[in-house]
Amino acid sequence: MKVVSVNVGKIQTQSWRDGTPSAMHKSAVEGQVAVSKLGLAGDEQADSKNHGGEDKAVFVMPENNYALFNIDQPFGFLGENLTLSGLDETEVCLGDRLQIGTVLLEVTQPRSPCWKLGQHASGGSDWSSAEFLKAYSESGRVGFYCRVVATGRFRERAVSYLVNT
């Protein structure tokens, strides 16, 4: 398993519902990225009630979810902070851990997709907003949130997967 892309985003006003603020669109960053208990340096959340915080500090998405939903966009488009290859999301459990360099992450919960994802993703795929959100949610391939157990910087691209026993 390896990190394919590290992504951060800034709050931007979207055209949805008369100007909804969102930081869903993330872009890849190069080099080392500092990771604190609240997530990646340079990443923002517009809705702190439903996103971010210590239990949702880092959002992880398997690379193959892009192909699954025919999304031909750069990684980070689905709002993830980390895009990983070689990850079978169906085998990920709460409490499992990911070691990336000095950073240790712990899986806390799956993503609960909201209407903003449907609006955002329908702009980068062949799906309507409602169709995408329904298919994405029902697939169970929604990515997952992690808390940061050990802070540091992402330096290595290899990921050690530690199963919660």
CATH of the domain at 109: 2.40.33.20
**For range 35-60, the mean pLDDT:** 88
Q: Quick: pLDDT tens for 122-141.
A: 565 566 667 777 877 788 88
pLDDT(12) > 90 = no
**Nearest CA to 99 among 28, 12, 157?**
157
Q: Which of 51-60, 95-104, 115-124, 151-160 has the lowest mean pLDDT?
A: 115-124
* Residues spanned by the domain of 10: 2-162
Pairing of β 58-62 and β 82-85: parallel
Q: In this predicted structure, what is the pLDDT of residue 137?
A: 74
Q: pLDDT tens, 64-76?
A: 998 888 888 899 9
Instruction: Specify the pairing of strand 152-154 against strand 82-85.
Output: unpaired
- Reported as a single tens digit per residue, the pLDDT across 75-121 is 998 889 999 999 888 889 999 999 998 899 999 999 876 656 666 56
pTM, entire model? 0.86
Structural domains counted in the chain:
1
Q: Give the pLDDT confidence score for residue 156 in this predicted structure.
A: 63
- Reply yes or no on whether the pLDDT at 152 is more than 80: yes
> Is it the case that residue 37 has pLDDT exceeding 70?
yes
What residue ranges in the chain does DSSP mark as E strands? 2-8, 12-13, 21-22, 27-28, 33-36, 39-40, 58-62, 82-85, 97-100, 103-110, 144-150, 152-154, 160-162
Q: 27-41, 50-64, 105-119: which range is least confident on average?
A: 105-119
